[in-house]
Copies of this chain bind each other. A is one copy, B any other.
Amino acid sequence: MSRTRSLTTTSYAILGLLSVRSWTTYELAQQMSRSLGRIWPRAESKVYEEPRKLAEHGLAQATGERVGRRPRTRYAITPKGRLALRAWLAEPGVGPVLESEQLLQVFFAHQGSREDTLATLAATRAWAVGQNADNIAVGRAYLAGEGEFQTTVAQNMLVGAFLTEWYRVVAQWSDWAAQIVEQWPDDPSQAQPDLEALAQVVLRAQWSEQPDGP
């Protein structure tokens, strides 16, 4: 089961970009850190390395260019590459993976001070606000017709919408949690669970069993 793929999801991310147009490695790196990185974050050096792998597999073609005396490489997708991309799009992808050091710190808040936790929550909120601002900027660029992906706005907006909602719940949750933590005593390990809030959480968790919800 889960036959080891010769390409990683990161490979397909790059291949997907190549399906839109040809890119130099630097441009790919930019794009990853600016927009794609929000849903598939990878280090720059990876982005420099992956396209080479694609070329080895015949999914992309590398062309040497020259800027002054410096060489640079431009990659373009091949027909075989398009087929591989199509095949990947038909596969079941893995669900969202969430990783949060801050959430971990909240989980173990009983071992720290109340101020620690409030600071963490403030940082979380600030992060969400910042990300949202970036997201809006990217969106505006699309609408203004500047972005690369003019041909793919219909798809990109779905992802943009996802991010909007994501940043919003993070910020809302931070506010809500901070309100509760404010009530804690100085030593959080003595904090009593807020029963009213707890009941609310339980209620909200029922969404998937209810006939619906806005």
What residues make up the interface of A, taking CB atoms closer than 8 Å to B?
9, 12-13, 16, 19, 36, 38-41, 82, 85-86, 88-90, 92-113, 116-117, 119-120, 123-124, 127-129, 131-133, 135-136, 139, 143, 151-162, 164-173, 176-177, 180-181, 184, 188-189, 191-194, 197-198, 201-202, 204-208, 213
Contacts and interface: CB of A to CB of B under 8 A. Distances in A.
6 contacts: A89-B109, A89-B116, A92-B123, A95-B100, A139-B201, A167-B208
Task: Tell me the number of copies of this protein.
Answer: 2
B95 A127 contact: yes
A205 B123 contact: no
A194 to B, nearest CB: 7
Contact of A90 (B13, B112, B136): B112
Given A85-B111, A86-B111, A111-B85, A96 B173 contact: no
A129 B38 contact: no
A184 B153 CA distance: 13
Contacts of A13: 104
Given A205-B132, A205-B135, A101 B108 contact: no
A96 B117 CA distance: 15
Contact of A92 (B119, B129, B133, B136): B119
The 7 A-B residue pairs whose C-beta atoms are closest, nearest first, are: A89-B112, A95-B127, A93-B101, A16-B108, A154-B191, A93-B102, A96-B100
